[in-house]
Amino acid sequence: MNSTLNLPTAGTPEDAERRTWMRATVGMGCAGATATLWPFVSSFAPSERAKALGASVQVNVGDLAPGEMRTVEWRGQPVWLLRRTPEMLASLSNTADLADPNSSTPQQPEYAKNIHRSIKPDLLVTVGICTHLGCSPVTLPEGTANTSVPADWKGGFFCPCHGSTFDLAGRVFKNKPAPTNLVVPPHSYLDDTTLLIGEDEKENT
C-alpha cells in the first residue's frame, strides 16, 4: 500500500509562515546575546576616571601669592605648587647638608637640574609624596617649633612617617630614609599664568 506524506511545498503559505517564525526566533536570539555580551565587552573600555588619571592638568597659577602653596591632583597624585619668596629662594644656596643638591639622580627632567628645580625659579612644582615609602610630607616653615628639624631650619618639608626632610626645592637632606629628591613631574607653561602638568615642552612642540 502506498502512503504519501503531506509536506508543504516551496511557495505554499505554510512554508512562508515557517520561514517568518524562524527569522523572528533567530533575530530575538541575536538581540539577547548582544544584550548579554555588551556589559562584558564594555567592561574592557577605560572608565572616565581612568582617562582622567592619564590626562594632563591645566592650572591657573596667576593668582598664587608669594609664600602660598596649592595642591592639585595629577594621575591620582598630589602635586604641590609653591610660589617661593625671594627669601625662600635665597635659602636654596645652602646645599652642604643635601644628599643630591644638583638633582643628578636620573629621575628628573632636565629643567629640574638646577638650584631651584623648576622652569620658573619662583614656582616649585613637585609631587607631594615622599620617595621613601610613599607617605605624604607636611610643610614646616622657618622658625617652626618642631624638634624633628634643626634649629637653623630655613623651611621645607618633613615626612612624619620616618623623618625624611626636604628643602624648599624638594631636595632631600643627607642621612635620611628617602633615597632621592621629591619627584618633579613633567610640566610646561602655556602662557605666563597657565601651567600644564603632565607634558613638558618637548611633548608640546
- Model pLDDT for residues 15-29, shown as the tens digit of each residue: 666 666 666 665 555
Mean pLDDT over 138-163 rounds to 91
Helix (H) or strand (E) holding 118: none
Residue type (1 letter), 82: L
CB 195 within 8 A of CB 119: no
Distance between CA atoms of residues 79 and 125, nearest Å:
7
Mean pLDDT over 45-61 rounds to 68
**What pLDDT digit, counting tens, does each position of 57-78 carry?**
999 999 999 999 999 999 999 9
Cell of residue 182, nine digits: 621629591
The backbone torsions φ and ψ at residue 87, rounded to the nearest 5 degrees and listed phi first, read: -65, -40
Distance between CA atoms of residues 85 and 116, nearest Å:
12
- Domain boundaries along the sequence of the chain: 10-45, 48-205
Residue 187 has pLDDT above 70, yes or no: yes
CA 24 to chain centre: 51
Going by pLDDT thresholds of 50, 70 and 90, the confidence category of residue 173 is very high
* pTM for the predicted model, two decimal places: 0.72
DSSP state, residue 72: E
Of the spans 30-39, 100-109, 178-187, which averages the highest pLDDT?
Answer: 178-187
- CA dihedral 32→35→41→42, nearest 10 degrees, is 180
All residues at 6 or more sequence positions from 53 whose CB lies less than 8 Å from its CB, including other chains: 75, 76
- Sign for the CA dihedral angle at 166, 167, 170, 171 comes to negative
Q: How many CA atoms lie within 13 A of 2 on its CB side?
A: 1
| Residue bearing cell 598664587 | 64
Distance between CA atoms of residues 134 and 149, nearest Å:
20
Distance between CA atoms of residues 71 and 177, nearest Å:
24
CATH topology of domain 48-205: Rieske Iron-sulfur Protein (2.102.10)
Distance between CA atoms of residues 171 and 165, nearest Å:
8
| Residue bearing cell 582622567 | 52
